[in-house]
Structure 1
Amino acid sequence: MKGHTPHSVKDVMTHTVVAVGLDARFKEVVAAMNRWQVTAVPVLEGEGRVVGVISEGDLLLKEELRDEDATMVGQRARLTDYAKAGAVTARDLMSSPAVTISASSSLPAAAHLMVHRRVKRLPVVDERGILKGIVSRIDLLKVFLRKDEELADEVKQEVIERLFPVSHQSIGVKVVQGRVTISGTVRDASLIPVAERLAGAVEGVVDVHCDLRGPTIAAPT
Protein backbone atom coordinates (compact mmCIF):
# COMPACT_ATOMS: atom_id res chain seq x y z
CA MET A 1 0.00 0.00 0.00
CA LYS A 2 1.34 3.40 -0.94
CA GLY A 3 0.40 6.98 -0.27
CA HIS A 4 -0.64 8.83 2.84
CA THR A 5 -3.50 8.14 5.18
CA PRO A 6 -6.37 7.98 5.43
CA HIS A 7 -6.83 4.95 3.25
CA SER A 8 -10.29 3.82 2.25
CA VAL A 9 -12.00 0.52 1.54
CA LYS A 10 -11.11 0.75 -2.17
CA ASP A 11 -7.41 0.57 -1.26
CA VAL A 12 -7.65 -2.83 0.43
CA MET A 13 -10.74 -4.57 -0.99
CA THR A 14 -10.64 -7.63 -3.23
CA HIS A 15 -12.02 -6.76 -6.66
CA THR A 16 -12.64 -10.31 -7.91
CA VAL A 17 -15.60 -11.71 -5.98
CA VAL A 18 -17.24 -15.14 -6.04
CA ALA A 19 -21.00 -14.59 -6.05
CA VAL A 20 -24.16 -16.57 -6.78
CA GLY A 21 -27.62 -15.79 -8.10
CA LEU A 22 -30.90 -16.06 -6.23
CA ASP A 23 -31.75 -19.38 -7.84
CA ALA A 24 -28.41 -21.09 -7.16
CA ARG A 25 -28.96 -24.50 -5.60
CA PHE A 26 -27.58 -25.51 -2.20
CA LYS A 27 -24.90 -27.80 -3.61
CA GLU A 28 -23.88 -25.17 -6.17
CA VAL A 29 -23.25 -22.69 -3.38
CA VAL A 30 -21.19 -25.23 -1.44
CA ALA A 31 -19.23 -26.13 -4.57
CA ALA A 32 -18.46 -22.46 -5.30
CA MET A 33 -17.20 -21.87 -1.76
CA ASN A 34 -15.08 -25.02 -1.87
CA ARG A 35 -13.62 -24.28 -5.30
CA TRP A 36 -12.60 -20.71 -4.50
CA GLN A 37 -11.81 -21.32 -0.83
CA VAL A 38 -14.11 -18.58 0.51
CA THR A 39 -16.27 -18.62 3.61
CA ALA A 40 -19.17 -16.55 2.26
CA VAL A 41 -20.66 -15.42 -1.03
CA PRO A 42 -22.85 -12.42 -1.93
CA VAL A 43 -26.19 -13.21 -3.56
CA LEU A 44 -26.98 -11.09 -6.62
CA GLU A 45 -30.04 -10.24 -8.63
CA GLY A 46 -30.51 -8.44 -11.92
CA GLU A 47 -27.37 -6.66 -13.13
CA GLY A 48 -25.40 -7.45 -10.01
CA ARG A 49 -27.26 -5.82 -7.13
CA VAL A 50 -26.39 -7.39 -3.79
CA VAL A 51 -29.52 -8.67 -2.03
CA GLY A 52 -28.00 -10.99 0.56
CA VAL A 53 -25.02 -13.00 1.75
CA ILE A 54 -24.62 -16.73 2.38
CA SER A 55 -22.01 -17.76 4.91
CA GLU A 56 -20.70 -21.14 5.98
CA GLY A 57 -22.81 -20.73 9.10
CA ASP A 58 -25.98 -20.46 7.01
CA LEU A 59 -25.11 -23.68 5.20
CA LEU A 60 -24.10 -25.61 8.31
CA LEU A 61 -27.57 -25.18 9.79
CA LYS A 62 -28.77 -27.96 7.48
CA GLU A 63 -26.35 -30.35 9.20
CA GLU A 64 -26.70 -28.93 12.72
CA LEU A 65 -30.49 -29.16 12.80
CA ARG A 66 -30.87 -32.32 10.74
CA ASP A 67 -32.15 -34.44 13.62
CA GLU A 68 -33.90 -31.69 15.61
CA ASP A 69 -37.65 -31.21 15.92
CA ALA A 70 -38.61 -27.64 14.99
CA THR A 71 -41.90 -27.97 16.89
CA MET A 72 -40.29 -28.63 20.27
CA VAL A 73 -40.98 -26.13 23.04
CA GLY A 74 -38.18 -23.58 23.42
CA GLN A 75 -37.12 -23.67 19.76
CA ARG A 76 -39.38 -20.91 18.48
CA ALA A 77 -36.49 -18.44 18.76
CA ARG A 78 -34.69 -20.38 16.03
CA LEU A 79 -37.46 -20.44 13.48
CA THR A 80 -35.29 -18.53 10.99
CA ASP A 81 -32.52 -21.08 11.43
CA TYR A 82 -34.94 -23.96 10.82
CA ALA A 83 -36.18 -22.24 7.68
CA LYS A 84 -32.62 -21.98 6.40
CA ALA A 85 -31.93 -25.58 7.33
CA GLY A 86 -34.76 -26.63 5.02
CA ALA A 87 -33.78 -24.27 2.19
CA VAL A 88 -32.51 -25.52 -1.15
CA THR A 89 -31.80 -22.27 -3.02
CA ALA A 90 -29.78 -19.12 -2.34
CA ARG A 91 -33.00 -17.11 -2.13
CA ASP A 92 -33.97 -18.93 1.08
CA LEU A 93 -30.49 -19.62 2.40
CA MET A 94 -29.17 -16.06 2.40
CA SER A 95 -29.12 -13.54 5.21
CA SER A 96 -30.92 -10.46 3.93
CA PRO A 97 -30.68 -7.55 3.61
CA ALA A 98 -26.93 -7.72 3.13
CA VAL A 99 -24.66 -5.57 5.27
CA THR A 100 -22.67 -3.64 2.66
CA ILE A 101 -20.26 -0.71 2.46
CA SER A 102 -19.11 1.78 -0.17
CA ALA A 103 -15.59 1.86 -1.63
CA SER A 104 -15.05 5.39 -0.36
CA SER A 105 -15.69 4.48 3.28
CA SER A 106 -12.80 4.69 5.71
CA LEU A 107 -11.14 1.60 7.16
CA PRO A 108 -12.23 2.47 10.73
CA ALA A 109 -15.81 2.77 9.47
CA ALA A 110 -15.56 -0.69 7.89
CA ALA A 111 -14.06 -2.16 11.06
CA HIS A 112 -16.79 -0.60 13.20
CA LEU A 113 -19.51 -1.95 10.93
CA MET A 114 -18.06 -5.46 11.01
CA VAL A 115 -17.86 -5.47 14.80
CA HIS A 116 -21.27 -3.86 15.32
CA ARG A 117 -23.05 -6.17 12.87
CA ARG A 118 -20.95 -9.22 13.77
CA VAL A 119 -19.87 -10.05 10.23
CA LYS A 120 -16.48 -11.11 8.92
CA ARG A 121 -16.68 -9.51 5.50
CA LEU A 122 -18.60 -6.77 3.68
CA PRO A 123 -19.67 -6.66 0.03
CA VAL A 124 -18.52 -3.35 -1.46
CA VAL A 125 -21.23 -1.70 -3.55
CA ASP A 126 -21.78 1.48 -5.55
CA GLU A 127 -24.64 3.94 -5.08
CA ARG A 128 -27.02 1.55 -6.91
CA GLY A 129 -26.10 -1.42 -4.75
CA ILE A 130 -24.09 -3.06 -7.54
CA LEU A 131 -21.27 -5.32 -6.35
CA LYS A 132 -17.78 -3.85 -6.85
CA GLY A 133 -15.69 -5.96 -4.51
CA ILE A 134 -15.49 -7.41 -1.03
CA VAL A 135 -13.54 -6.45 2.07
CA SER A 136 -12.74 -8.85 4.89
CA ARG A 137 -11.22 -8.51 8.32
CA ILE A 138 -7.81 -9.60 7.03
CA ASP A 139 -8.01 -6.90 4.34
CA LEU A 140 -8.39 -4.24 7.02
CA LEU A 141 -5.17 -5.50 8.61
CA LYS A 142 -3.17 -4.89 5.42
CA VAL A 143 -2.28 -1.40 6.66
CA PHE A 144 -0.01 -3.10 9.21
CA LEU A 145 2.07 -4.52 6.36
CA ARG A 146 3.35 -1.07 5.45
CA LYS A 147 7.15 -0.81 5.60
CA ASP A 148 8.78 0.95 8.53
CA GLU A 149 10.49 3.37 6.14
CA GLU A 150 7.14 4.34 4.63
CA LEU A 151 5.64 4.93 8.06
CA ALA A 152 8.63 7.04 9.13
CA ASP A 153 8.35 9.18 6.00
CA GLU A 154 4.65 9.78 6.60
CA VAL A 155 5.11 10.68 10.26
CA LYS A 156 7.88 13.12 9.30
CA GLN A 157 6.00 14.76 6.44
CA GLU A 158 2.42 14.71 7.67
CA VAL A 159 2.95 15.19 11.39
CA ILE A 160 6.37 16.57 12.34
CA GLU A 161 6.94 19.00 9.47
CA ARG A 162 3.41 20.37 9.68
CA LEU A 163 3.32 20.80 13.44
CA PHE A 164 6.90 22.03 13.82
CA PRO A 165 7.83 23.91 10.63
CA VAL A 166 10.74 25.66 12.36
CA SER A 167 12.21 22.94 14.58
CA HIS A 168 11.37 19.81 12.57
CA GLN A 169 14.96 19.28 11.45
CA SER A 170 16.01 18.66 15.03
CA ILE A 171 13.37 15.97 15.53
CA GLY A 172 14.15 12.32 14.94
CA VAL A 173 11.63 9.70 13.84
CA LYS A 174 12.47 6.02 14.08
CA VAL A 175 10.14 3.13 13.26
CA VAL A 176 10.83 -0.52 14.13
CA GLN A 177 8.17 -3.16 13.47
CA GLY A 178 5.52 -0.45 13.30
CA ARG A 179 6.52 1.12 16.64
CA VAL A 180 7.31 4.82 16.26
CA THR A 181 9.79 6.71 18.42
CA ILE A 182 9.85 10.50 18.14
CA SER A 183 12.65 12.40 19.87
CA GLY A 184 14.07 15.90 19.95
CA THR A 185 13.42 19.40 21.19
CA VAL A 186 10.59 21.63 20.00
CA ARG A 187 9.77 25.28 20.59
CA ASP A 188 6.12 24.75 21.48
CA ALA A 189 5.74 22.04 24.13
CA SER A 190 1.94 22.30 23.99
CA LEU A 191 2.03 20.55 20.60
CA ILE A 192 3.81 17.45 21.91
CA PRO A 193 0.59 15.56 22.87
CA VAL A 194 -0.87 16.50 19.47
CA ALA A 195 2.16 15.06 17.68
CA GLU A 196 1.86 11.82 19.64
CA ARG A 197 -1.84 11.50 18.87
CA LEU A 198 -1.43 12.24 15.15
CA ALA A 199 1.48 9.83 14.80
CA GLY A 200 -0.63 7.11 16.40
CA ALA A 201 -3.40 7.81 13.89
CA VAL A 202 -1.17 7.01 10.91
CA GLU A 203 -2.47 3.75 9.46
CA GLY A 204 -0.05 0.93 10.07
CA VAL A 205 1.44 2.37 13.25
CA VAL A 206 1.35 -0.14 16.12
CA ASP A 207 2.54 2.07 18.96
CA VAL A 208 4.12 5.49 19.61
CA HIS A 209 6.81 6.46 22.10
CA CYS A 210 7.07 10.24 22.23
CA ASP A 211 10.31 11.58 23.69
CA LEU A 212 9.89 15.19 22.55
CA ARG A 213 10.85 17.95 24.95
CA GLY A 214 10.16 21.64 25.15
CA PRO A 215 12.87 24.31 25.17
CA THR A 216 15.24 24.32 28.10
CA ILE A 217 14.73 27.36 30.29
CA ALA A 218 17.86 28.61 31.96
CA ALA A 219 17.61 29.04 35.71
CA PRO A 220 17.97 32.63 36.94
CA THR A 221 21.33 33.47 38.37
Structure 2
Amino acid sequence: MTATPYTVSDVMTRKVIAFTPDAGFKEIAACMERWKVSAAPVVEGEGRVVGVVSEADLLPKEEFRDRRLGLIEQMRHLGDTAKAGSVRAGDLMTTPAVTIRPDSTLPQAARLMAERRVKRLPVVDADGTLKGIVSRADLLKVFLRPDEELAEDVRRDVVKLLFPVSHTRVEVAVTQGVVTLTGQVRDGESIPVATRLAQAVEGVVDVRCRLETVASA
Protein backbone atom coordinates (compact mmCIF):
# COMPACT_ATOMS: atom_id res chain seq x y z
CA MET A 1 0.00 0.00 0.00
CA THR A 2 1.27 3.43 -0.83
CA ALA A 3 -1.28 5.33 1.24
CA THR A 4 -0.24 6.20 4.77
CA PRO A 5 -2.39 4.32 7.33
CA TYR A 6 -4.54 6.43 9.62
CA THR A 7 -3.02 6.82 13.06
CA VAL A 8 -4.41 7.64 16.47
CA SER A 9 -3.39 11.28 16.04
CA ASP A 10 -5.72 11.52 13.02
CA VAL A 11 -8.87 10.66 15.00
CA MET A 12 -8.14 11.40 18.67
CA THR A 13 -9.91 14.10 20.67
CA ARG A 14 -7.40 16.81 21.54
CA LYS A 15 -9.44 18.67 24.15
CA VAL A 16 -9.33 16.37 27.13
CA ILE A 17 -10.92 16.56 30.56
CA ALA A 18 -8.21 15.60 33.05
CA PHE A 19 -7.78 15.70 36.82
CA THR A 20 -4.86 16.25 39.14
CA PRO A 21 -4.25 13.67 41.90
CA ASP A 22 -5.72 16.15 44.43
CA ALA A 23 -9.06 16.50 42.61
CA GLY A 24 -11.93 15.71 44.95
CA PHE A 25 -14.63 13.07 44.59
CA LYS A 26 -17.48 15.52 43.99
CA GLU A 27 -15.44 17.53 41.51
CA ILE A 28 -14.73 14.36 39.54
CA ALA A 29 -18.37 13.23 39.58
CA ALA A 30 -19.60 16.69 38.58
CA CYS A 31 -17.16 17.00 35.66
CA MET A 32 -18.03 13.55 34.36
CA GLU A 33 -21.70 14.47 34.40
CA ARG A 34 -21.13 17.88 32.83
CA TRP A 35 -18.92 16.67 30.00
CA LYS A 36 -20.68 13.32 29.54
CA VAL A 37 -17.55 11.18 29.96
CA SER A 38 -17.23 7.98 31.95
CA ALA A 39 -13.46 8.19 32.54
CA ALA A 40 -10.64 10.73 32.45
CA PRO A 41 -6.85 10.68 32.84
CA VAL A 42 -5.13 11.84 36.00
CA VAL A 43 -2.06 13.98 35.36
CA GLU A 44 0.66 15.56 37.40
CA GLY A 45 3.47 18.03 36.73
CA GLU A 46 3.53 19.17 33.10
CA GLY A 47 0.76 16.79 32.09
CA ARG A 48 2.32 13.37 32.66
CA VAL A 49 -0.39 10.71 32.87
CA VAL A 50 -0.22 8.76 36.13
CA GLY A 51 -3.59 7.00 36.05
CA VAL A 52 -7.20 7.00 34.93
CA VAL A 53 -10.25 7.60 37.09
CA SER A 54 -13.56 6.19 35.89
CA GLU A 55 -17.13 5.77 37.00
CA ALA A 56 -16.18 2.25 38.04
CA ASP A 57 -13.64 3.75 40.45
CA LEU A 58 -16.33 5.97 42.01
CA LEU A 59 -19.08 3.38 42.36
CA PRO A 60 -17.60 1.47 45.36
CA LYS A 61 -18.47 4.45 47.58
CA GLU A 62 -22.14 3.80 46.83
CA GLU A 63 -21.82 0.01 46.64
CA PHE A 64 -20.37 -0.34 50.14
CA ARG A 65 -22.24 2.55 51.75
CA ASP A 66 -24.55 0.34 53.84
CA ARG A 67 -22.68 -2.96 53.77
CA ARG A 68 -20.68 -4.37 56.67
CA LEU A 69 -18.25 -6.96 55.34
CA GLY A 70 -16.70 -9.86 57.15
CA LEU A 71 -12.91 -10.26 57.22
CA ILE A 72 -12.78 -12.72 54.34
CA GLU A 73 -15.05 -10.57 52.17
CA GLN A 74 -13.03 -7.49 53.05
CA MET A 75 -9.87 -9.23 51.81
CA ARG A 76 -11.67 -10.30 48.63
CA HIS A 77 -12.78 -6.74 47.90
CA LEU A 78 -9.74 -4.98 49.30
CA GLY A 79 -9.25 -2.66 46.32
CA ASP A 80 -12.91 -1.67 46.13
CA THR A 81 -13.30 -1.08 49.86
CA ALA A 82 -10.19 1.12 49.81
CA LYS A 83 -11.73 3.19 47.02
CA ALA A 84 -15.00 3.38 48.93
CA GLY A 85 -13.16 5.31 51.63
CA SER A 86 -11.21 7.54 49.23
CA VAL A 87 -12.00 11.12 48.24
CA ARG A 88 -9.06 12.09 45.97
CA ALA A 89 -8.34 11.18 42.35
CA GLY A 90 -4.87 9.95 43.33
CA ASP A 91 -6.43 7.32 45.61
CA LEU A 92 -9.38 6.50 43.37
CA MET A 93 -7.57 6.15 40.04
CA THR A 94 -6.55 2.96 38.33
CA THR A 95 -2.81 2.87 37.81
CA PRO A 96 -0.71 2.43 35.78
CA ALA A 97 -2.81 3.92 33.01
CA VAL A 98 -3.20 1.99 29.75
CA THR A 99 -1.96 4.52 27.18
CA ILE A 100 -1.10 4.66 23.50
CA ARG A 101 1.20 6.76 21.31
CA PRO A 102 -0.11 9.21 18.67
CA ASP A 103 1.63 7.35 15.83
CA SER A 104 -0.01 4.01 16.65
CA THR A 105 -2.35 2.66 13.97
CA LEU A 106 -6.08 2.34 14.50
CA PRO A 107 -5.96 -1.49 14.50
CA GLN A 108 -3.29 -1.32 17.23
CA ALA A 109 -5.54 0.94 19.30
CA ALA A 110 -8.54 -1.32 18.76
CA ARG A 111 -6.60 -4.42 19.79
CA LEU A 112 -5.27 -2.73 22.92
CA MET A 113 -8.77 -1.64 23.93
CA ALA A 114 -10.05 -5.18 23.45
CA GLU A 115 -7.16 -6.82 25.29
CA ARG A 116 -7.32 -4.46 28.27
CA ARG A 117 -11.10 -4.14 28.21
CA VAL A 118 -11.17 -0.35 28.17
CA LYS A 119 -13.35 2.03 26.15
CA ARG A 120 -10.79 4.81 25.71
CA LEU A 121 -7.05 5.37 25.86
CA PRO A 122 -5.08 8.45 26.91
CA VAL A 123 -2.73 9.39 24.08
CA VAL A 124 0.76 10.27 25.32
CA ASP A 125 4.12 11.23 23.82
CA ALA A 126 7.45 9.55 24.55
CA ASP A 127 7.64 11.32 27.93
CA GLY A 128 4.17 10.19 28.97
CA THR A 129 2.69 13.68 28.52
CA LEU A 130 -1.00 13.79 27.66
CA LYS A 131 -1.73 14.76 24.04
CA GLY A 132 -5.32 13.63 23.66
CA ILE A 133 -7.67 10.74 24.17
CA VAL A 134 -8.98 8.16 21.73
CA SER A 135 -12.24 6.30 22.21
CA ARG A 136 -14.07 3.50 20.46
CA ALA A 137 -16.21 6.11 18.73
CA ASP A 138 -13.08 7.86 17.45
CA LEU A 139 -11.86 4.64 15.86
CA LEU A 140 -15.10 4.44 13.89
CA LYS A 141 -14.60 7.89 12.32
CA VAL A 142 -12.78 6.35 9.35
CA PHE A 143 -16.04 4.72 8.30
CA LEU A 144 -17.47 8.20 7.70
CA ARG A 145 -15.14 8.77 4.74
CA PRO A 146 -17.07 9.56 1.52
CA ASP A 147 -17.53 6.74 -0.99
CA GLU A 148 -15.82 8.82 -3.70
CA GLU A 149 -12.73 9.20 -1.53
CA LEU A 150 -12.58 5.47 -0.85
CA ALA A 151 -12.96 4.70 -4.56
CA GLU A 152 -10.06 7.00 -5.42
CA ASP A 153 -7.84 5.33 -2.81
CA VAL A 154 -8.67 1.87 -4.16
CA ARG A 155 -7.99 2.93 -7.76
CA ARG A 156 -4.67 4.57 -6.89
CA ASP A 157 -3.30 2.26 -4.22
CA VAL A 158 -4.71 -1.10 -5.29
CA VAL A 159 -5.83 -1.30 -8.92
CA LYS A 160 -3.08 0.77 -10.56
CA LEU A 161 -0.47 -0.79 -8.30
CA LEU A 162 -1.38 -4.41 -8.99
CA PHE A 163 -2.59 -4.12 -12.58
CA PRO A 164 -0.39 -1.51 -14.30
CA VAL A 165 -1.27 -2.85 -17.76
CA SER A 166 -4.97 -3.64 -17.43
CA HIS A 167 -6.09 -1.17 -14.76
CA THR A 168 -8.18 0.77 -17.30
CA ARG A 169 -10.42 -2.28 -17.63
CA VAL A 170 -11.17 -2.40 -13.91
CA GLU A 171 -14.16 -0.53 -12.51
CA VAL A 172 -14.19 0.49 -8.87
CA ALA A 173 -17.59 1.26 -7.36
CA VAL A 174 -18.21 2.10 -3.70
CA THR A 175 -21.63 2.23 -2.08
CA GLN A 176 -22.01 2.80 1.67
CA GLY A 177 -18.39 1.81 2.14
CA VAL A 178 -18.74 -1.48 0.23
CA VAL A 179 -16.21 -1.75 -2.62
CA THR A 180 -17.10 -3.65 -5.80
CA LEU A 181 -14.32 -4.51 -8.25
CA THR A 182 -15.38 -5.58 -11.73
CA GLY A 183 -13.52 -6.03 -15.01
CA GLN A 184 -10.87 -8.13 -16.70
CA VAL A 185 -7.20 -8.33 -15.78
CA ARG A 186 -4.19 -10.18 -17.10
CA ASP A 187 -2.63 -11.18 -13.77
CA GLY A 188 -5.10 -13.57 -12.20
CA GLU A 189 -2.81 -14.39 -9.28
CA SER A 190 -3.10 -10.80 -8.06
CA ILE A 191 -6.90 -10.87 -7.79
CA PRO A 192 -6.94 -12.27 -4.20
CA VAL A 193 -4.26 -9.72 -3.29
CA ALA A 194 -6.45 -6.93 -4.67
CA THR A 195 -9.29 -8.04 -2.43
CA ARG A 196 -7.08 -8.02 0.67
CA LEU A 197 -5.53 -4.64 -0.13
CA ALA A 198 -8.90 -3.05 -0.86
CA GLN A 199 -10.21 -4.38 2.45
CA ALA A 200 -7.24 -2.76 4.20
CA VAL A 201 -8.09 0.73 2.92
CA GLU A 202 -9.20 2.80 5.92
CA GLY A 203 -12.98 3.15 5.97
CA VAL A 204 -13.82 0.21 3.68
CA VAL A 205 -16.67 -1.87 5.10
CA ASP A 206 -16.49 -4.84 2.73
CA VAL A 207 -15.13 -5.85 -0.69
CA ARG A 208 -16.92 -7.72 -3.47
CA CYS A 209 -14.42 -8.83 -6.07
CA ARG A 210 -15.80 -9.77 -9.49
CA LEU A 211 -12.57 -9.52 -11.45
CA GLU A 212 -11.94 -12.04 -14.21
CA THR A 213 -8.75 -13.20 -15.85
CA VAL A 214 -8.20 -12.93 -19.59
CA ALA A 215 -5.29 -14.06 -21.71
CA SER A 216 -4.77 -10.55 -23.08
CA ALA A 217 -5.98 -7.45 -21.30
Equivalence for 2:127: 128
Which residue number corresponds to residue 19 of structure 1?
18
From the superposition, tell whether residues 151 and 5 of structure 1 become closer, same or farther in structure 2 (CA, over 3 Å): farther
Cross-structure match for 1:178: 177
- Letter paired with 1:193: P
SS at match of 1:212: strand
Alignment match, 2:203: 204
SS where residue 18 of structure 1 aligns? coil
CA distance in 1, matches of 2:70, 2:86: 17
Q: RMSD over aligned Cα, in angstroms? A: 1.5
Amino acid at match of 2:189: S
| Alpha-carbon contact 1:70-1:82 (below 8 Å) kept | no
Structural mapping, 1:85-100, within 5 Å: 85-100=84-99
DSSP-derived class of the 2:59 partner: helix
Whole-Å separation in 2 of the counterparts to 1:202 and 1:20: 37
The amino acid of 2:155's aligned partner reads K
What are structure 2's unaligned runs of at least 5 residues?
A: none
Contact 1:186/1:212 (CA < 8 Å) preserved in 2?
yes
Cα contact 1:5–1:202 (8 A) shared by 2: no
Counterpart residue number, 2:7: 8
What letter corresponds to residue 25 of structure 1 in structure 2? G
Correspondences of 1:148-187 after superposition (within 5 Å): 148-187=147-186
Paired position in structure 1 for 2:58: 59
User: What is the percent sequence identity of the aligned residues?
Assistant: 61
1:14/1:135 contact within 8 Å kept: yes
1:48 corresponds to: 47
SS at match of 2:72: coil
SS in 1 for 2:13: coil
SS of the residue 2:96 aligns to: coil
Paired residues, number: 215
Cα displacement (A) at 1:34: 1.6
| 8 Å CA contact retained: 2:180, 2:207 | yes
1:70 CA drift (Å): 3.6
Secondary structure (helix, strand or coil) at the match of 1:195 reads: helix
TM superposition shift of 1:67: 1.9
Task: Work out the CA distance in 2 between the residues paired with 1:75 and 1:11.
Answer: 45
Q: Distance in 2 between matches of 1:95 and 1:69?
A: 24
Post-superposition shift, 1:74?
Answer: 4.1
Instruction: Provide the C-alpha distance between the structure 1 equivalents of 2:104 and 2:9, rounded to a whole number of angstroms.
Output: 8
Q: CA offsets per residue over residues 144-189 of structure 1, 9 Å max, x none? A: 1011111000000000000001100000000000111001111010
Tell me if structure 1 keeps the 8 A contact 2:186–2:215.
no
DSSP 3-state at the match of 1:181 = strand
Please report how far the alpha carbon of residue 75 of structure 1 lies from its aligned counterpart in structure 2 after TM superposition.
4.8
Q: Is the 8 A contact 1:70 1:79 kept in 2?
A: no
Query: Aligned AA for 1:15?
Result: R
Q: CA deviation at 1:85?
A: 1.3
Contact 2:42–2:50 (CA<8 Å) still a contact in 1? yes
Q: Which digits, 9 at most, give the CA deviation of each residue in 1:76-104, with x for residues without a partner?
A: 33211111111110011000000000000
2:176 is equivalent to residue 194 of structure 1: no
> Could you state the TM-score of these two structures normalised by the residue count of structure 1?
0.94
Provide the TM-score with structure 2 as the length reference: 0.95
How far off its partner does 1:64 sit? Answer: 1.5
